[in-house]
Chain A
């Protein structure tokens, strides 16, 4: 077989990796190259170095080591039954590409995953070798996210964790039943065990111990991804699975990836546009659970089909179903209630709480803080404003939705 030029390999193996939604490069331990005179730094907040026309940020060189794979997961472009073009990077090629891109400030670091060839251990060993060479031989201090191949040996996971800032194992689908149908060779219990192993290692490392002065020697977090819309799981079931995953494995993030039609798709799957709005609503609901004090069960309580409203955001939908709790007085209500007012973000709530210690807030003040007041107005009382009967109006939903929709059209 003739050697494939690196540019073609890059095209194939970047294309093959792009269906993984994870892009974060934040949350790493702070470090720089001042002492080592190497290359790279991480300073807490990640940087998006470019944006593709699909609106996704490009912060890492996200590639597969190879897209040859012995698994046959219906939703994956790299499944063994697909006719996609195959390629394989050498360890050296990935190291050189990463350094070339990083030195030109194209990227924050590397996100390396792989199709599974021969065995999980063989594949994971190659991934770990790339990270080792970057850290040890190139003195690379940028961000490294490695995909942990499920069912590889704990020793390899532990070694990967020493070089990487983040490890992730994808749960792939929200239910085991979905996995059995669409990814028959993958073992959901094996995936969960890998996540459990990582959580125990992360816990061990964060335990304040005699070595507390030493630098962290293991990844600071793990994340996972679920594909949305490839099977019939409801949003309520997806959120329940997410809540369980956050609780069980100390995940930094659960990524939701709208199933996207892939070239050379399998018969088993819906060939249509990806449900992008649904994906967006799931992220919003996920945020409500993590930063707004909502319990998973509350978000969709009382919704018969267990699906999030596609037209309006989940907080507004929840507030419309729970009007009895409103209006909230912006000059008096506690933080918990203000966080539940549609249109008020966590930062805005903080600013309201700060400001009202010194001045009473009028509606115009709130408007300036939150950007768009249309959604907020019916749910709050301010010094010069009360919603009166507006809150109980039968057509409140239409009245709130119409101005929001116009904004989108602009």
Chain B
């Protein structure tokens, strides 16, 4: 019987200058494609003598391919599989008729291409991770040498990374098929080397091994997870890997030792530390504020407020701000995102509008007291943002305790309720702001409450004309306020 030939004889033989000679492959492929040579008729080989020169005149021939194909081919060509050159040419060939070939994940060529791309990228990444330099000293000072065994032809492609990272030192990376050396100014690429060409020890390795042993938590042994990321084939060039077997075998013993060990009595220093740094009055407690005599005392007590659950998700209590002698008190709804972060009322977008209008109305912001009906920010998280949500009646009622105390200490001539929540808090029930707007209501205790909208309402209006009109109305309200207390 005559055995069938394993491979058909190829018509065209292409010799490339090296295992990852992308320029050579590119120029040959361009020529083959223009000549209409079918992929199955090309045989690719590597030869040191080969010299494919990029042919400029051919460039005008106008072969276009997706940019991602070229970029990824530069990676794929580093793969160790001898079939890579043929695969790349076959894909190039097919791209003429199937421009979306690389988007079709179910195509066998695309799958092989992707798998090779991934394998080389992983190899590049692992080389960046697992190269271990050893320090040597010569007449010019210290330099560093590493021995590494990559799976693919990646030294040349990876060398610039090491240059960018270790520009300030002299180093060399030796591998079986190629080497890279940086002298502090220039990168030299050279032939493969032997393990014996690299130093076999470094003083710092003892420290590194100490570190490796110390960061291991025996209670969390997950050997498979480790090996998935650091396969055994790399271990022989990793100084720390020699420790792994014994660390694994003693792990469960170390863990049970930790668990079995009885809690011990605290050392003597502990009591000294407690007495010195944590006297009982230094540990804060919630509540208080009943007998606060100043706004500052009241604000300090409010910082620990737990009267409703809103404190749980907010950063901090945002208390009122302004002099205790203020004639006017402005009450908003609740702090917003910015107020919550800064711990101060009216510093966000609505606060800016409010400040500007107050100034136009001739009211000195520093002479008034500004506060909110509710003193913690209520919100719904939405990804990386917080969406304001309206405080409910219970929260308003709970926080009214603080507002009453503030008003009791200040005894203002006039309180301005900004929006529905402030009205609800000051007047004890939900009332329509639009109807009461611009008017003053006298409470049973004689406190005068002027009603208007919340300045954030102006911000929410989209139409510029409506916005300007609303702003003007608010300004008119503020002028009225000024006249009332004058």
Contacts and interface: CB of A to CB of B under 8 A. Distances in A.
A260 B212 contact: no
A187 B379 CA distance: 22
B335 to A, nearest CB: 12
Nearest to B251: A53
B217 A37 contact: no
Given A189-B316, A355-B106, A104 B208 contact: yes
B230 A50 contact: yes
B165 A55 contact: no
B105 A54 contact: no
Interface stretch (B265-273, B396-404, B454-462): B265-273
A247 B207 contact: no
Interface string B368-394: 000000000001011111100000000
Contact of B212 (A52, A100, A185, A196): A52
Contacts of B137: none
A199 B341 contact: yes
A89 interface: no
Interface in A1-21: 6-7, 10-12, 14-15, 17-19
Interface residues of B, number: 89
Nearest to B111: A368
Contacts of B130: 49-50
Contact of A101 (B208, B225, B248, B284): B208
B105 A354 contact: yes
A196 B341 contact: yes
Contacts of A335: none
A274 B226 CA distance: 18
A255 B381 CA distance: 18
A137 B248 CA distance: 40
A258 to B, nearest CB: 8
B82 interface: no
A36 interface: yes
Contact of A104 (B202, B312, B341, B384): B202
A34 B163 contact: yes
B281 to A, nearest CB: 13
Contacts of A103: 133, 135, 144, 166, 169
A14 B216 CA distance: 9
B103 A355 contact: yes
Contact of B219 (A100, A106, A261, A264): A261
B422 interface: no
B103 A354 contact: yes
B383 A104 contact: no
A363 B376 CA distance: 53
B226 A70 contact: no
Interface in B78-132: 100, 103-106, 111, 125, 128-132
Nearest to B337: A248
A407 B371 CA distance: 60
B215 interface: yes
B204 A104 contact: yes
B316 A193 contact: yes
A396 interface: no
Contact of A261 (B103, B207, B223, B258): B258
Interface string A344-383: 0000000110110111011011001100000000000000
B313 A244 contact: yes
A327 B225 CA distance: 33
A250 B384 contact: yes
A247 B229 contact: no
B223 A39 contact: no
A57 to B, nearest CB: 7
B203 to A, nearest CB: 9
Interface stretch (A40-48, A318-326, A397-405): A40-48
B217 A18 contact: yes
Given A250-B384, A265-B263, A355-B106, A139 B168 contact: yes
B97 to A, nearest CB: 13
A56 B313 CA distance: 31
Given A11-B210, A200-B341, A368-B106, A104 B132 contact: yes
Nearest to A97: B207
Contact of A247 (B144, B146, B278, B383): B383
Contact of A32 (B104, B133, B165): B165
Nearest to B165: A41
Contacts of A196: 315-316, 340-343
Given A34-B163, A58-B215, A246-B381, A104 B144 contact: yes
B206 interface: yes
B65 interface: no
Contact of B385 (A247, A261, A267, A351): A247
Interface in A43-87: 43, 47-58, 61-62, 70, 72, 80-83
A81 B266 contact: yes
Contacts of A83: 264, 266-267
Interface in A259-290: 260-267, 271-274, 276, 290
B274 interface: yes
Contact of B226 (A39, A40, A55): A55
A296 interface: yes
Nearest to A63: B211
Nearest to A12: B214
Nearest to A350: B105
Contacts of B131: 105
Contact of A274 (B216, B220, B240): B220
Contact of A262 (B161, B166, B258): B258
B100 A51 contact: no
Name the residue among A19, A52, A58, A263 with the largest chain B CB count within 10 angstroms: A52
A402 B135 CA distance: 52
A10 B264 contact: no
A159 B55 CA distance: 56
A289 B269 CA distance: 45
A36 B168 contact: yes
Interface in A191-238: 192-193, 195-197, 199-200
A246 B207 CA distance: 38
B269 A80 contact: yes
A62 B215 contact: yes
Contacts of B244: 53
Contact of B343 (A11, A62, A193, A361): A193
Contacts of A70: 273, 276-278
B134 A104 contact: yes
A176 B312 contact: yes
B183 interface: no
Contacts of B277: 70, 185
Contacts of A200: 341-342
B267 A81 contact: yes
Nearest to A30: B164
Nearest to B313: A244
B259 A271 contact: yes
B132 A105 contact: yes
7 contacts: A10-B214, A101-B208, A105-B131, A247-B386, A272-B259, A273-B219, A276-B220
9 shortest A-B CB distances, which residue pairs?
A: A55-B225, A247-B381, A55-B222, A81-B266, A32-B164, A365-B106, A14-B214, A33-B167, A54-B220
Interface of A: 6-7, 10-12, 14-15, 17-19, 32-34, 36-41, 43, 47-58, 61-62, 70, 72, 80-83, 97, 100-101, 103-106, 139, 175-176, 184-185, 187, 189, 192-193, 195-197, 199-200, 241, 243-244, 246-248, 250, 258, 260-267, 271-274, 276, 290, 296, 351-352, 354-355, 357-359, 361-362, 364-365, 368-369
